Amino acid sequence: MEAVDYLAEERRKAEFDVEEMKIVWAGSRHAYEISDRVSRLVASDPVFRKDNRTMLSRKDLFKDTLRKAAHAWKRIIELRLSEEEAKTLRFYVDQPAYTDLHWGMFIPAIKGQGTEEQQQKWLPMAYKMQIIGCYAQTELGHGSNVQGLETTAKFDPQTDEFVIHSPTLTSSKWWPGGLGKVSTHAVVYARLIIDGQDHGVHGFIVQLRSLDDHSPLPGITVGDVGMKFGSGAYNSMDNGVLRFDHVRIPRNQMLMRVSQVTREGKYMQSDVPRQLVYGTMVYVRQTIVSDASRALSRAVCIATRYSAVRRQFGSQNGGPETQVINYKTQQSRLFPLLASAYAFKFVGEWLKWLYADVTQRLEANDFSTLPEAHACTAGLKSVTTSATADAIEECRKLCGGHGYLSSSGLPELFAVYIPACTYEGDNIVLLLQVARFLMKTVSQLGSGKNPVGTTAYMGRVEHLTQCNCEVQRAEDWLKPSVILEAFEARAARMSVACAKSLSKFSNPEEGFAELSADLVEAAVAHCQLIIVSKFIEKLQQDIPGKGVKRQLETLCNIYALYLLHKHLGDFISTGSISPKQGALANEQLRLLYSQVRPSVIALVDAFNYTDHYLGSILGCYDGNVYQKLYDEAWKDPLNETVVPDGYHEYIRPILKQHIRNARL
Amino acid sequence: MEAVDYLAEERRKAEFDVEEMKIVWAGSRHAYEISDRVSRLVASDPVFRKDNRTMLSRKDLFKDTLRKAAHAWKRIIELRLSEEEAKTLRFYVDQPAYTDLHWGMFIPAIKGQGTEEQQQKWLPMAYKMQIIGCYAQTELGHGSNVQGLETTAKFDPQTDEFVIHSPTLTSSKWWPGGLGKVSTHAVVYARLIIDGQDHGVHGFIVQLRSLDDHSPLPGITVGDVGMKFGSGAYNSMDNGVLRFDHVRIPRNQMLMRVSQVTREGKYMQSDVPRQLVYGTMVYVRQTIVSDASRALSRAVCIATRYSAVRRQFGSQNGGPETQVINYKTQQSRLFPLLASAYAFKFVGEWLKWLYADVTQRLEANDFSTLPEAHACTAGLKSVTTSATADAIEECRKLCGGHGYLSSSGLPELFAVYIPACTYEGDNIVLLLQVARFLMKTVSQLGSGKNPVGTTAYMGRVEHLTQCNCEVQRAEDWLKPSVILEAFEARAARMSVACAKSLSKFSNPEEGFAELSADLVEAAVAHCQLIIVSKFIEKLQQDIPGKGVKRQLETLCNIYALYLLHKHLGDFISTGSISPKQGALANEQLRLLYSQVRPSVIALVDAFNYTDHYLGSILGCYDGNVYQKLYDEAWKDPLNETVVPDGYHEYIRPILKQHIRNARL
Ligand SMILES: Cc1cc2nc3c(=O)[nH]c(=O)nc-3n(C[C@H](O)[C@H](O)[C@H](O)COP(=O)(O)OP(=O)(O)OC[C@H]3O[C@@H](n4cnc5c(N)ncnc54)[C@H](O)[C@@H]3O)c2cc1C
Ligand SMILES: Cc1cc2nc3c(=O)[nH]c(=O)nc-3n(C[C@H](O)[C@H](O)[C@H](O)COP(=O)(O)OP(=O)(O)OC[C@H]3O[C@@H](n4cnc5c(N)ncnc54)[C@H](O)[C@@H]3O)c2cc1C
Ligand SMILES: [Ca+2]
């Protein structure tokens, strides 16, 4: 059969150079080249097939995951892939596995919290995967409140060991990925107890399983926590439960970079400041923001392509119906998500820079930017993951009924993505941290301590609480300076309003608790400002390629004006803009949708996703949706027989009116 | 082990009579009695167990569903259950099955569109389930646009038959529930063609399978469409694909209540008006609104109970931590959903009344209220199902990490619920219909034709576009008249603004298309007004029971002020309220949260859901969450062995550095 590109016409309409945009999306030509090559490599390897994943039983799915992880590792070694290439390969395998935690949490924890000596001992083994590790912090009864963990690590001076113990049911470790069935080791967080004194929560390297036969070591009870959301999805991961019954480890397996316990049982702080651990958090959360743009762009790619294929209503004189992507409602739901994907991409890139900057400063003993960087990454993690989770489901709805089929890829994408709103900090708890930082920033205004980084605009609070938005015509909303000021004014005014309300409480903690819902909204406003401003900053760079920058400008405006419309109440009630100006923004937004419309297929092509990675019939590159949907249906196990198993026992007796006597 | 009620303390705090509230929730003492009895009956029957459902393979799940459906039918017959009791039983079995479509769509379609004669022929067989039917409208290429269906029914005057045919791939029927594996018959929608002339889409009763051995009849290709969202969930349903290859049916199997084809092939309209079919739609959508309140209340019950069990942070002097339900952010996310559950319940009840009213009028040949009733049910279906889908996911997030476990019940509830946003009319397409009706209503103002029913407020448009909200203090927001006027003003002003913008277009259809995103927002405002006003009306009734009415008033205020805060932009930008009044509403909302807090556990107890129906460890009545989570985990198939299947092939070679030589 000849290959037809059902979206060829759409591709011809693009008003910019797609190949150049691919490089912008990837971040650099180098990154593009790796991503392109490795994604094809994965797509063409039969071991990495995933199209039947949602039909596998838990056990088969898990075994399939072990196989893929092993095969990936084999390929990485055989092809001598660089660290970056290896990471890219794991990413495109697109199946959560214990390796994510080994590379993403276990190793970084040792790097961040282990002494030089500890790093030299453990990291080489970990890099070679002679040991496999996970990150065991959360317990059945304690997640967000890490300081409330119950697991204990008692120092035994007689043997120079720590005794790790789970004193209660609720102290069972619960959730760590890779723990349930695979990890041989874990970084375990436990309360350090010396001579009856509680020194708070610390990390310990604990071996869990025998390296000979994989059986759990004495005193260790370990297993999988059971099925999670959806089919396929995160069920490939062995999130685990773990109980310790007085498990002994040598003293030198406490991660001692920041604080130590001596042979004599003396607890000491090293000169390495505690804030160092924030560095790791900035790193991990930056990767989560990057992942948000990838998950979001994937969903958007599916919904956009399908919306161009799908036709409904509006046929004239027996001609074809209207592509649903031409409906303004469809555009107003979809295009802002496309714009968000780009926005999150660029803020993610900026976070990478921020992490590098923070690391450099830390090495020079400069901790001044750390609190701001910490708050900002916490907030961006929260805002981008929440938006992405919602957006994936919206993309599914944008596909109408067919979005509900597993073969659309969207159900599994949703199910596998949503825990990002919860792990590495519950999104609301994170926003409360941001709010706390904002209130501190406001309270210090005028004290000579100038707000830095993403809070620098607070330094202009007087102006921002008084300025008037100068928009008079719809097109005035296209000026970056106008958009920026509106977002700054809104964020600043919301923070200041919260601070004012807070000051009426005699007990500030009570006030904070009482006003916390408003504080969360102020934090969101602040984070959205960051994203908008980083998008605008990106556009101040040189961006080569015919029409590329132009498209990005349109997307930036769509993103900003969409947020403005969505949070119109904030903008107007703070007086940052007038109702009339809000209406003009909405008008401009409609024009922007028309403007971007011809290019949207090319804008999702620029993500350069293979059909393998997309994993969606609705999003397939060639748009040949219906034939593929039809063919796929017949593969369901239910279709192995025409008359279903159970007919004789459970259907026929009904039809034949024998149900009373049927044995069911 | 002695049963401990971990929520006993919470139950003691309730400030109203729970037993009386149960009756309010159920709708009547009679309904309560049935619901209570039947739900216990189902819960105590081992055949109806569903706690391992998400672990079953598709085939096992489907067979389990057939068994449950047969057992349910057997019990219905044995116990001589009334129609209402039978329906309640099917509801509490809580597993989508072909019977839903047989009773919910096939039978109503014949009742609504069949002649007396046809009803007499088919309904008795259907009631006895000697035949099992489904509703086959949607096609692979055509959903929302029913008029675009491609399946043909050509009249063959020679044999007095219709020839049903699928001329294209995209004309394959796709989605009908119960079609894939079970239905013996279907109401099939097809284009009626007589002598080359296309008379548009009509319904036909078509036999699909042999009543002897269940094999598909000649010319019929039928199967299941494959896996859908999630595990368990809607995968128990055999949504089907169906192709016709010139299948012949007798002429009298066209549903002929509204139009007929004579022996001679003459197409005729009967004197029964076409609008009659709207009656069926009002009925079906009313049940969907009721279902929304049930699904929502179920999610809210789980999240509320767990939020009272879960503690995080704020421990003082080693005492217990704070129940997360006491955090204002948790309250501001959860309590509005609790209020929404009640709001949807009451608007659902009102819709039941509306359906009865419409039916009565139809019988008296009064069609005057039909368009308004039709628009109003379309809108309420859309608004309540969208809100419920979002709310279920929000409830899951409110449970932190543990909400992501299948055993929380929330993933499956989400997966099974969300198609309600798509079937029986895509929610956006429905809102556009409402908007169209609103624009028509506005355009006819002053023409002497007074708006009726839920659009009656439009008759006061002059007042509503000029009135000033009189709120000066937070407590002014407690007055129903104040709330109502604010909602009416907002809805009226948004509609009027749209109408004004529309009038600037020379081509009204173009204008409608261009402004459709705004029109959808106006439609939402209108529908929210209806829900708020029906809640307020409900409270004007006598409601017995200590404190019951008081609680409902609090919930009604929470619902309204929550919407007001969420859509603040609408209210302020239309000038319906001032920013200051918006802030006062928010202040009042916080107070209402504190006010309702002591009663929330009792308010979810009032739903009277069994643990079986809830299907959630986090929501279990006694609150013994941790022990149950822990015990449940070990039941996962992955935990059958300590060392997982695949260890030797895929883990050991990595650890032992033999991966290069491993055969994977
Ligand atoms: C798929 C998945 C993978 C995971 N992987 C790991 C892993 O590898 N290692 C690991 O250690 N852990 C892991 N976790 C655990 C994860 O980090 C926690 O679930 C997360 O930190 C949230 O904590 P929680 O579950 O205790 O939520 P809770 O804190 O119990 O949240 C419940 C509710 O309470 C609210 N709340 C809590 N505290 C406050 C407050 N102070 N103010 C206002 N509201 C509050 C929350 O907003 C939420 O609505 C994983 C979890 C999941 C779901
Ligand atoms: C679980 C499930 C069960 C079902 N059961 C049955 C059944 O028993 N029998 C049956 O016949 N069908 C059934 N259906 C089909 C269902 O009724 C259709 O999926 C539904 O009507 C939506 O149509 P669609 O899928 O064609 O969506 P589409 O119309 O293709 O929607 C795609 C997108 O286009 C947009 N859109 C479409 N038209 C317009 C417009 N004019 N203006 C603006 N935007 C527009 C929509 O908003 C949506 O975002 C079922 C579907 C599901 C998911
Ligand atoms: Ca809003």
Tokens, residue B186? 């279907």
Instruction: Look at A516 and B225 and tell me if their CB atoms are within 8 Å.
Output: no
Tell me the three state secondary structure of residue A248: strand
The residue in chain A having the minimum alpha-carbon distance to the alpha carbon of residue B570 is A569
Average pLDDT over residues A109-120: 96
Low-confidence winner among A505-514, B268-277, B618-627 (lowest mean pLDDT): B268-277
Residues B130 and B228 placed together within one structural domain of the fold: yes
Residue A434, H or E segment: helix A427-443
> Mean pLDDT across chain A, nearest whole number?
96
Whether the predicted pLDDT of B275 surpasses 80: no
Name the active-site residue from A161, A349, A372, A424: A424
Instruction: Look at A313 and B642 and tell me if their CB atoms are within 8 Å.
Output: no
* Beta bridge mates, B208: none
Specify the pLDDT at position A271: 82
Residue A87 is assigned to a structural domain of this protein: no
The 10 Å Cβ neighbour count of residue B12 is 10
Whether B137 lines ligand 2, by a CB cut-off of 6 Å, is yes
Q: Which residues of A are annotated as a binding site?
A: 138, 177
Specify the pLDDT at position B208: 98
Tokens, residue A346? 């660029």
Specify the pLDDT at position A2: 62
> Are the C-beta atoms of B593 and B331 separated by less than 8 Å?
yes
Q: Which positions of B are catalytic?
A: 424
* Beta bridge mates, B244: B220
How many CA atoms does the CB half-sphere of B332 hold within 13 Å?
22
Nearest-neighbour CA in chain B from A128: distance (Å): 8
Nearest-neighbour CA in chain A from B365: distance (Å): 32
User: In chain A, what percentage of residues exceed pLDDT 70?
Assistant: 100
What is the rounded (10 degree) CA torsion for A439, A443, A444, A445?
100
Write down which residue in B216, B249, B272 finishes a domain. Answer: B272
Give B178's contacts (C-beta < 8 A, 6+ positions apart): B97, B98, B99, B100, B101, B102, B106, B132, B133, B134, B237, B238, B240
Residue A74 is assigned to a structural domain of this protein: no
Average pLDDT over residues B47-52: 96
Residues A586 and A445 placed together within one structural domain of the fold: yes
Average pLDDT over residues B231-241: 98
Tell me how far apart the alpha carbons of residues B114 and B632 are, in angstroms, rounded to a whole number. 50
Interval A44-60: pLDDT, tens: 999 999 999 999 999 99
| More confidently predicted of B2 and B590 | B590
Residues B333 and B370 placed together within one structural domain of the fold: yes
| More confidently predicted of A367 and B653 | B653
Tell me how far apart the alpha carbons of residues B134 and A500 are, in angstroms, rounded to a whole number. 61
Interval B514-548: pLDDT, tens: 999 999 999 999 999 999 999 999 999 999 999 99
Phi/psi-derived region of residue B471, left when phi > 0, alpha when psi is between -120 and 50, beta in every other case: beta
Burial class of residue B450, CB neighbours in 10 A (0-12, 13-18, 19+):
exposed
Specify the pLDDT at position B37: 98
Residue B191, H or E segment: strand B185-194
Whether B419 lines ligand 2, by a CB cut-off of 6 Å, is yes
Please give the C-alpha separations between residue B656 and each of A62, A74, B643, B659, in angstroms, as whole numbers.
Answer: 21, 13, 16, 8
Specify the pLDDT at position B278: 76
> Mean pLDDT across chain B, nearest whole number?
96
Q: Total structural domains in chain A?
A: 3
Residue in B73, B238, B633 closest to A659 by CB: B73
Specify the pLDDT at position A353: 95
Question: Can you list the alpha helix ranges (DSSP code H) found in B515-639?
Answer: 516-539, 548-566, 568-573, 579-596, 600-605, 611-614, 625-633
Instruction: Look at A638 and B224 and tell me if their CB atoms are within 8 Å.
Output: yes
Q: Which residues of A are annotated as a binding site for FAD?
A: 138, 177
> Are the C-beta atoms of B502 and B441 separated by less than 8 Å?
no
Phi/psi-derived region of residue B498, left when phi > 0, alpha when psi is between -120 and 50, beta in every other case: alpha
* Residue A164: CATH number of its domain: 2.40.110.10
What is the rounded (10 degree) CA torsion for A316, A322, A326, A331?
130
The residue in chain A having the minimum alpha-carbon distance to the alpha carbon of residue B214 is A643
Span from the CA of A227 to the centroid of ligand 1 (angstroms): 17
Question: Which phi and psi angles does B369 have, rounded to 5°?
Answer: -90, -5
Chain B residues with CB-CB distance to A638 below 8 A = 58-59, 62, 180-181, 223-224, 238
Specify the pLDDT at position B280: 79
* Maximum distance among all Cα pairs of chain B, rounded to whole angstroms: 92
Tell me how far apart the alpha carbons of residues B323 and B77 are, in angstroms, rounded to a whole number. 47
Chain A contact probe: residue of B313, B654, B663 with most A CBs at under 10 A: B654
DSSP codes, B313-337: S---TT----BGGGSHHHHHHHHHH
Average pLDDT over residues A16-24: 98
Closest-approaching ligand to the CA atom of A564: 3
Tokens, residue A28? 């650099």
Place A341 in a pLDDT band, splitting at 50, 70 and 90. very high
Tell me how far apart the alpha carbons of residues B324 and B306 are, in angstroms, rounded to a whole number. 9
Instruction: Look at A397 and B573 and tell me if their CB atoms are within 8 Å.
Output: no
Instruction: Look at A66 and B649 and tell me if their CB atoms are within 8 Å.
Output: yes
Residue B613 amino acid letter: Y
Q: Which of A102, A147, A208, A423 to mutate to test the pocket of ligand 1 (most atoms within 8 A of CB)?
A: A423
Interval A595-614: pLDDT, tens: 999 999 999 999 999 999 99
Interval A222-267: pLDDT, tens: 999 999 999 999 999 999 999 999 999 999 999 999 999 999 999 9
Q: State how beta strands B197-207 and B133-136 pair.
A: unpaired
Evaluated on CA atoms A612, A618, A619, A621, the torsion sign reads: positive
Nearest-neighbour CA in chain B from A89: distance (Å): 17
Whether B234 lines ligand 2, by a CB cut-off of 6 Å, is yes
Q: State how beta strands B173-174 and B240-244 pair.
A: antiparallel
Low-confidence winner among A153-157, B132-136, B251-255, B449-453 (lowest mean pLDDT): B449-453
Residues A209 and A315 placed together within one structural domain of the fold: no
Burial class of residue B405, CB neighbours in 10 A (0-12, 13-18, 19+):
buried
Residues B478 and B519 placed together within one structural domain of the fold: yes
Nearest-neighbour CA in chain A from B108: distance (Å): 20
Q: How far is CA B452 from the centre of its chain?
A: 26
Q: b/e string for B582-611 if b means 16 or more Cβ within 10 A?
A: bbbbbbbbbbbbebbeebbbbbbbbbbbbe
Residue B72 is assigned to a structural domain of this protein: no
Whether the predicted pLDDT of A1 surpasses 80: no
Specify the pLDDT at position A315: 83
Residue in A70, A141, A590 closest to B654 by CB: A70
First to last CA, chain A: 49
> Are the C-beta atoms of A144 and A425 separated by less than 8 Å?
yes
Interval B543-601: pLDDT, tens: 999 999 999 999 999 999 999 999 999 999 999 999 999 999 999 999 999 999 999 99
Residues A291 and A267 placed together within one structural domain of the fold: no
| More confidently predicted of B58 and A274 | B58
How many CA atoms does the CB half-sphere of B570 hold within 13 Å?
27
* Beta bridge mates, B185: B133, B207
Place A587 in a pLDDT band, splitting at 50, 70 and 90. very high
Nearest-neighbour CA in chain B from A375: distance (Å): 19
DSSP codes, A130-151: SS-EEEE--BTTBSS-GGG---
Residues A454 and A395 placed together within one structural domain of the fold: yes
Interface size A-B, in CB pairs within 8 Å, comes to 399
Residue B424 is assigned to a structural domain of this protein: yes
Residue B559 is assigned to a structural domain of this protein: yes
> Are the C-beta atoms of A351 and A377 separated by less than 8 Å?
yes
Tell me how far apart the alpha carbons of residues A378 and A387 are, in angstroms, rounded to a whole number. 14
Give the pocket of ligand 1 (CB within 6 Å): A 101, 135-138, 143-144, 175-177, 234, 239, 419, 422-423, 426, 428-429, 432; B 310, 312-313, 324, 327, 329-330, 398, 400-402, 404
Tokens, residue A156? 């035994």
Closest-approaching ligand to the CA atom of A400: 2
Write down which residue in B228, B246, B272 finishes a domain. Answer: B272
Nearest CA to ligand 2 atom 4: B175
Span from the CA of A480 to the centroid of ligand 3 (angstroms): 23
ipTM: 0.98
Residues A258 and A322 placed together within one structural domain of the fold: no
Tokens, residue A354? 């921020």
* Residue A578: CATH number of its domain: 1.20.140.10
Tokens, residue B308? 């009272």
Whether the predicted pLDDT of B444 surpasses 60: yes
Whether the predicted pLDDT of B273 surpasses 80: no
What is the rounded (10 degree) CA torsion for B277, B279, B283, B286?
110
Specify the pLDDT at position B315: 82
> Are the C-beta atoms of B176 and B137 separated by less than 8 Å?
yes
Residues A507 and A409 placed together within one structural domain of the fold: yes
Specify the pLDDT at position B209: 98
Residues A220 and A262 placed together within one structural domain of the fold: yes
Write down which residue in A225, A246, A272 finishes a domain. Answer: A272
Nearest to A490 by CA among A555, A585, A425: A585
Evaluated on CA atoms B495, B497, B498, B500, the torsion sign reads: positive
What is the rounded (10 degree) CA torsion for A375, A379, A385, A386?
150
Residue in B77, B238, B315 closest to A148 by CB: B315
Whether the predicted pLDDT of B74 surpasses 70: yes
Nearest to A350 by CA among A482, A488, A530: A530
Q: A142 lies in which domain range?
A: 131-272
Interval B143-161: pLDDT, tens: 999 999 999 999 999 999 9
Residues B659 and B553 placed together within one structural domain of the fold: no
Chain A residues with CB-CB distance to B58 below 8 A = 55, 636-638
Residues B123 and B175 placed together within one structural domain of the fold: yes
Tell me how far apart the alpha carbons of residues A336 and B600 are, in angstroms, rounded to a whole number. 37
Chain B residues with CB-CB distance to A215 below 8 A = 642-643
Chain B residues with CB-CB distance to A418 below 8 A = 393, 396-397, 404
Residue A585 is assigned to a structural domain of this protein: yes
Residue A267 is assigned to a structural domain of this protein: yes
The 10 Å Cβ neighbour count of residue B195 is 10
Residue A120 is assigned to a structural domain of this protein: no
The residue in chain A having the minimum alpha-carbon distance to the alpha carbon of residue B222 is A642
